[in-house]
Structure 1
Amino acid sequence: MTDETTQAFGPLEGRAAGTAASATPADRISVRDHEVAVEIGAFQAERGVTQRLRFDVVVEVGAHDGADTDDVDDILSYDTVTEAITAELAAERLNLLETLAERIAARLLAERQPLRVFVRIQKLDRGPGKLGVEIVRGRGEAALAEGADVPHPLVVHLGQGDLSVLLDRLADDPRPLIVTVAATTDGPRAATADAQRHIDLLAIEQAAWALAGAEPRVKVVATRTELDWAMKNGQPVLWAPSKLVLDAVDGPESTDPVDLTRWFADEMQAEELRIEGVA
């Protein structure tokens, strides 16, 4: 066996043969056949239902004294691996296994000992076979850098008010600015709470786009990636809430714009939240 990923997930004999030429092959910690039921997937049929995922994670670790000291603090604990899986599943609802694998690898590589991480995730309930992804990441390749600066924005909910006046007033404030807006949903209520929730969120997004169309200094953003980029680059933005709210593991129950803003500010670890133009 010569393929490193095959060696990582394969029988011990295969790894022994593949690393025979190395004078000091790295030790490996593994968690295999770890199953969790979770909501995940990009298709509408995968929303509102759970499906089983199977995780196999192998971590190459640097030199350590665990065998000599018999002290759990001197080794990479298996709990660290399972906790990385649990933490990333709890952070938000994801569409792609690829995203989940990257985040688990990044979280593990932020620990002291890991040199490389092999992650395999399989969906067990999407067909007659197993659908999955396998990745290998080394230190320095992680999507989330250890110690990376996390911006803490100023979040302003603009109920009744002029967006241009708000931007002028905050032009000298060095903090990243995220504006949320209000919207009213006219017409008959939907037959189900889930349908009405989607309608309410889309109404807020429609209001955000209308404001952005008249004010070129702001952009409408929906994803965490877009928000992070905007904050790091000083771009004022209007928040389109549907994606983050619907993908949240423990999202807000209410679609009231002020309630959504309070939840959002907490999620973004905002330095300050202001509610303006609300009676």
Structure 2
Amino acid sequence: MTIQSVKVSQLSASFHERLNHIIRLHGEGVVGNAASVQEANRLLELLRRDYPGVPLAEAYHGSTMILVARDATKPLDKLKWCKNGLMLLDKAVAAAPHDLMVRLLRGKAAAQLPEKYFKRTQTAIEDYTFLIDQELRQPGVLEADEYSNIIYELGEAYSSIGRNRDAVMCWSNLQTRTLTPDMRQRVSQKLQAAEGKPAVEIKPPANSVQAILIGIGARTTGDALQHWGQPKKKKSAEKKKEASRKANQPDETAAKKEKKDESVLKKEKKERAASKKAKKDSSSSQKNKKSSSKPKKNSRKH
């Protein structure tokens, strides 16, 4: 980036040294290092305390807060960090609207947030089109790879809100540029996926952040929004389905008990029959014994 805020250029060497260290941590955080994100956030709090009102520092802090939200596990923490991060990014852009790095940081943060909850895709489009316009006006203000990434992500932003024709224009433009094999493959896949789609596609309305908060407040288990893009309605439908399944499912315990009781009854019946037979046999045996013990009468006459 060659265009910077005037305030940054007038700051001390100490500020730049500290900010450069933070930028390295921020870069590590972008690729997934949560520890670097936490350290960058801590250092940015100190830097902004020592140098208040610097748009670039505020933009990096806002972007870092979005990364903190990414790594957070609790839904309310995610929302809190995102809200604070977006506020700082908007403040930075308002203070330095022509600073390319400030616009790039906000654009990337806005593009990564789920549109259905945060409604910030238009912000990403605004920032990315501004950056592309600056590159067209003054070639070289953006690095070649960064410029290609911005065009690619602008296409994704258009696609996410149903502006398929604009998305295809972005990706088609990239085919005329020198790209890495990975980027070229991704562009080709995007263009294939867009074939046959209408120029403008109306997307269904989605829940707002306020709706998410209401959903979280209504739950006593506190398990809502464990990750992005998991709407409350889907969970409710799953719970209803599970409850219906359980209601229609036979009571396994009762069935086992009934089966057991039936088995016991059969066994008892069998034992009673055997006991009765034994008594009968015993009675018959005693009768025969008595009969055989009586003396026989002499049948001859004297």
**TM-score normalised according to structure 1 size:** 0.23
Q: Which structure exhibits the higher relative contact order, with contacts defined as CA atoms closer than 8 Å and separated by 6 or more residues? A: 1
Relative to total residues, which structure has the larger helix share, 1 or 2? 2
* Higher strand fraction (1 or 2): 1
Q: Return the index of the structure with the highest Cα Rg.
A: 2
| TM-score (norm: length of structure 2) | 0.22
